[in-house]
Amino acid sequence: MPGRNDPDPPPNVTLGAMSSEERLVKSLGWIFVGCFLGIPIVVLLTAGPQVSVAMLVGPSLILAIVMSAWYLTLQRRQRKALEKAGYRGCLNCRYSLADLPDMGTCPECGTPYTLEHLQRSWSWTYSKH
């Protein structure tokens, strides 16, 4: 799960920047991978050879389900919030462009935008592709 394994965006689309929560989940993802591999090893080392398969994979499986559910919920929430705001968020810094013209530069980071490009890019960023 760590990182986005998305294909390259189409030429008329810019991949939107990750929110702080998405960055957190991404960095936790590496810890998760470590736990996923480490838990069975620790169980095997502490419980000895008579360990059951359930004991071996159970904790990792629960961890995988929890992390996946968190990530999917987060993605859905981000998409809904952007949809609700008419996709008016800077692609570079996620600054709200809600009260600004349909075309201009982000007052926060200076990235140029058009509403059409924002809509296309954000819906691509949060679509299943």
Q: Which residues bind Zn ion (CB under 5 A)?
A: 90, 92-93, 95, 106, 108-109, 111
State the minimum distance, in angstroms, from the CB of residue 105 to Zn ion. 8
Least Cβ distance, residue 95 to Zn ion (angstroms): 4
- Least distance in Å: CB of 113 to Zn ion? 8
DSSP 6: P
Could you give the 3-state DSSP secondary structure of residue 121? helix
Q: How far is CA 88 from the centre of its chain?
A: 19
Residue located via tokens 């949809």:
83
| CA atoms lying within 13 Å on the CB side of residue 109 | 13
Pick 90 or 118: Cβ nearer Zn ion: 90
> Which CB sits closer to Zn ion, 34 or 110?
110
Nearest distance, CB of residue 87 and Zn ion, angstroms: 14
Nearer to Zn ion, 67 or 90 (CB): 90
Please check whether residue 106 is in contact with residue 97, taking contact to mean a CB–CB distance below 8 angstroms: yes
Residue closer to Zn ion, measured from CB, 18 or 28: 18
Task: Write out the two tokens for 120.
Answer: 């296309």
Residue identified by tokens 């859905």 is: 76
DSSP symbol at 127: S
